[in-house]
Each structure stands twice: as C-alpha cells, then as structure tokens.
Amino acid sequence: MIATSKAALFTLLLAGSTAFATIAVAQEVSPSHVSAARKALTATKATDSFDSILLTTSTNLKNNLTSNNPNLAEKIAEIVDEEAIALAARRGDLEQEAARLFANSFSEEELNTISTFFSSTAGQKYLDNTPILARELGKAARVWAAGIARDLNAKVGPRVAEAAKTE
C-alpha cells in the first residue's frame, strides 16, 4: 500500500514537473514581444494602481512604529522614507513581471492591437469610464439577482407546499 502511494506520488510529481517545464519553455518570448507587452501595459494603465503600494506600505509602517515609539516619530519617518526611496527602484521588477504575464497571455499582434485601441480616444474613454461602469453594473446585477431570488421563491414556495400536502 505504501509502495503504491509512493509510486503514485512520484508519478504525480514527474507529471507536474514535466508540465511545469513545458510551460516554462512555452513562456519564452522575443524582445519585440516583451516590448509590445510593455506598450500594452502603458496603454491599458494595467499597473497604475500599483504605484501606491510603496507609499501605502511605508505610511503604514511609519504609523505602526510611531504608535509604539511616539518619541521617535521624526526619526522613524526619516528612516522609513530613506529605505522606501531605496526600494523604489524595485518597482521595475513588477513592471517586468507584468510584461512577462501579458506576453505569455497575448500574441505580439494582439498586444499591438490592444495598445492601438487603448491609446485611441475610445480606448481612453473606456479606461476612464470603467470604474463607474463596473460600479453601476454591480448595482444592476444585485437588483437583478434580488428580483430573480424573489420570483424564484414566489414560484417554488407554493409548488413545494402543494407537494408537501400530497406526501
């Protein structure tokens, strides 16, 4: 039994590592493909929301450290700011990873099409209006779901009650 389990585990690990190796090979892309991915990232503003990560993290750290050591507030702010500035260069790592993800998800031609659209007036309008549209669509979906639940309950309740009478 244990030997069978070990064999099954080995087979599973081998299959997984083979699949991972296949994915890794398939994910290699040309420099022009990565360049197209970076252009698409810029055009879609896909990583703009990440700009605040370092600022938010450093502000939270300052607040936490200052609450424990209020007498060191100025020194804490100075140290955290220095270290945060030193880490700012790592923002490029996130952009590089995002470009890799885009390049692995879209062909170079698709990325160029995406860049062209989102650089256009219509694409910019789409990006500007997406948060509002998403919020309003969410509201509409909740209203619709409530109506469906109400109507389904209204239809099913009496039928179940009738079925209960005949049992």
Distance CA 4, CA 116 (A): 56
pLDDT above 80: residue 49: yes
88 within some domain: yes
37 within some domain: yes
Distance CA 40, CA 137 (A): 25
64 within some domain: yes
CB atoms within 10 A of CB 59: 14
138 within some domain: yes
Q: What CA dihedral angle connects 121, 125, 128 and 129, to 10 degrees?
A: -170
**Residue 139 and residue 76 share a domain:** no
**Residue 86 and residue 98 share a domain:** yes
pTM for the model: 0.65
Task: Write out the two tokens for 7.
Answer: 């064999």
pLDDT (tens digit per residue) in 11-31: 444 444 444 444 444 457 899
pLDDT above 70: residue 141: yes
Counted domains in the chain: 2
Specify the pLDDT at position 28: 79
pLDDT (tens digit per residue) in 62-114: 999 999 999 999 999 999 999 999 999 999 999 999 999 999 999 999 999 99
Distance CA 144, CA 109 (A): 38
Q: Are 124 and 118 in contact (CB under 8 A)?
A: yes
**Residue 150 and residue 105 share a domain:** no
**Residue 145 and residue 69 share a domain:** no
**Residue 65 and residue 38 share a domain:** yes
**Residue 145 and residue 166 share a domain:** yes
105 within some domain: yes
pLDDT above 90: residue 5: no
Specify the pLDDT at position 10: 42
Q: How far is CA 162 from CA 151, 157, 166, 167, in A?
A: 17, 9, 7, 9
**Residue 38 and residue 114 share a domain:** yes
Structural domain containing residue 38: 30-119
**Residue 135 and residue 92 share a domain:** no
Average pLDDT of the chain, as a whole number: 88
